[in-house]
Amino acid sequence: MAEIVSLQSAIRAHVHDGDAVAMEGFTHLIPFAAGHEVIRQRRKDLTLIRMTPDVIYDQLIGAGCARKLIFSWGGNPGVGSLHRLRDAVEKDWPQPLEIEEHGHGDLSNAYVSGASNLPFAVLRAYAGSELPKHNKNIRFIECPFTGETLAAVPSIRPDVAVIHAQKADRKGNVLLWGILGVQKEAVLAAKRAIVTVEEIVDNLNAPPNACVLPSWTLAAVCHVPGGARPSYAHGYYDRDNRFYQAWDEISRDRQTFLSWIKKHILATEDFSAFQKVLRESAKEQLV
């Protein structure tokens, strides 16, 4: 059964230095509040797993929390580069970042086989691509029936999965809807899972066959309204595209980035304090 606890204690209890952490959410429901709390608690040497690193991992990488990144597309959606990711890969700042890259189909299959407790996934891809040359975790196998050659990748089994969802009930059962990405698979593939939610209700009133994660599949559920900002939560708030654009400026320069992290994350107590400071910065046109 999931404990319903503060995000602070959930991160303290379940995310440790050196863990393999998957924070998922395909542009929708990205668990930014949880990402910030990991920075606040100054976690180190994490292996970060995520199909689209997005601004959330750009922040974690720039803040020096990551040793390795497993991903399939590392850009700022609709804007351009992730400058902190690039700086780490191109110039080892703030520290070298080992990268293991895949394709989206590959990683999403690897989450599925992880959730299925299989050691590997099979897919039709990579013939002719140079990715297998640089990623020893992309191999090829033969079909025992047809003899066809297919690509194989190892399952993803994170130590911790972190997602954001719309609702939980008081027992800790979680409901999400809209664009689901690989969140369910990430949770079921992980040893432990943390879910931040927009609201906690008496009854989920889930439609038939909705995406529900039973409380007993989760380690912790945290009530963090707005916890996916600047990404969006379907039915609650829109994506803050302005922030994604502003991030390009904030993250381009190391000092600007460091002072932003210091002021907005390290100097704030929690996500609601962060949001307050961010709103002030916005007024001051700094964002």
Residue in 128, 144, 202, 255 binding other proteins, rule: CB under 8 A: 128
Residue 127 contacts a second copy per CB under 8 A: no
Q: Which option in other proteins, a second copy, none does residue 161 bind, with CB closer than 5 to 8 A by kind? A: none
Q: How far is the CB of 287 from other proteins (least distance, A)?
A: 7
Q: For other proteins, which stretch binds (CB under 8 A), given 39-47, 106-114, 158-166, 255-263?
A: 106-114
Q: Which is nearer to other proteins, 7 or 187 (CB)?
A: 187
Name, in order, each residue with C-beta under 8 angstroms of 166's C-beta and a sequence gap of 6 or more: 29, 175, 176, 177, 197, 198, 199, 233, 234, 235, 236
Residue in 6, 16, 89, 154 binding other proteins, rule: CB under 8 A: 89
Residue in 1, 141, 266, 273 binding a second copy, rule: CB under 8 A: 141
Residue 154 contacts other proteins per CB under 8 A: no
Residue 272 contacts other proteins per CB under 8 A: no
Q: How far is the CB of 143 from a second copy (least distance, A)?
A: 4
Q: For other proteins, which stretch binds (CB under 8 A), given 8-16, 98-106, 159-167, 195-203?
A: 98-106
Report strand pairing: 120-123 vs 139-142. Answer: unpaired
Residue 270 contacts other proteins per CB under 8 A: no
Q: How far is the CB of 13 from other proteins (least distance, A)?
A: 20
The contact set with a second copy (CB under 8 A) reads 117-120, 122-124, 137, 139-141, 143-146, 148, 150, 152, 154, 177-178, 180, 207-211, 234
